[in-house]
Amino acid sequence: MTAPGHRTATRRVPAGDRARRKREAIVRAASGAFLRDGYDAGMDAIAAEAGVSKVTVYNHFGSKEELFTAIVGDILDRALADSTALVEARLGASDDVRADLTAICRAWVAGHATPEVLALHNVVVGSTRRFPDLGRTWQELGPDRFHTLVRAALQELVDRGRLVIDDVPLAAIQLSGLVLLPHIAYGAAGSAPDADLTERLITGGVDMFLARYLPSATPTP
């Protein structure tokens, strides 16, 4: 996937205010191109839309894959910003796990159930058979990164006796499946849940999660 002649390990990335402005223009142009045309978006078109030469694009991003990875990282950073802040600030030390987990899940869903994130997800899914690395990039910069934070916070709650979880990594995936996956699945197909259903999915998902893992819950045989 890396363009011939553009080795990221040896190139010198431009620096300074002018270079920063060019980089931002490239990222804006590439975001629009990838979301509109998928991974088949051409580097010539991206350069033209950014108002720079293709050489300049490759000076900043050594390959198309590197540019796409930067776009994925930028979009997922914004999508996860609020939920990440809440997990780090509140979940592990929470004295009201239901309220804090619900607030985190609301932020998690709100960050992902946007046209931009859903369109990017469709691009990744549609290109994964040809370019498996795109799927791994999404997984690493999105689910894996957030699940790592959630796992750490859940473990703190377990250590404090607020939850009883034998398999914390599995629990983090279960939480994602309950509250986020319906929005990704339906939203990617153009039929995102409305506000009422969104709230019911979140609160119901948190209730199901806690019914399984609160200390008073009876484990399923």
pLDDT at 6 (0 to 100): 40
For residue 17, pLDDT over 60 is answered with: yes
DSSP structure string for the chain = -PPTT--TTTPPPP-SHHHHHHHHHHHHHHHHHHHHHGGG--HHHHHHHHTS-HHHHHHHSSSHHHHHHHHHHHHHHHHHHHHHHHIIIIITT-S-HHHHHHHHHHHHHHHHSSHHHHHHHHHHHHHTTT-HHHHHHHHIIIIIHHHHHHHHHHHHHHHTTS---S-HHHHHHHHHHHHTHHHHHHHHTT----HHHHHHHHHHHHHHHHHHHSTTSPPP-
Residue 219 pLDDT > 70, yes or no?
no
pLDDT of 63 strictly over 80 = yes
Query: How does pLDDT run across 171-205, given as a tens digit for each residue?
Result: 999 999 999 999 988 887 778 889 999 999 999 99
Check whether 118 has a pLDDT greater than 70: yes
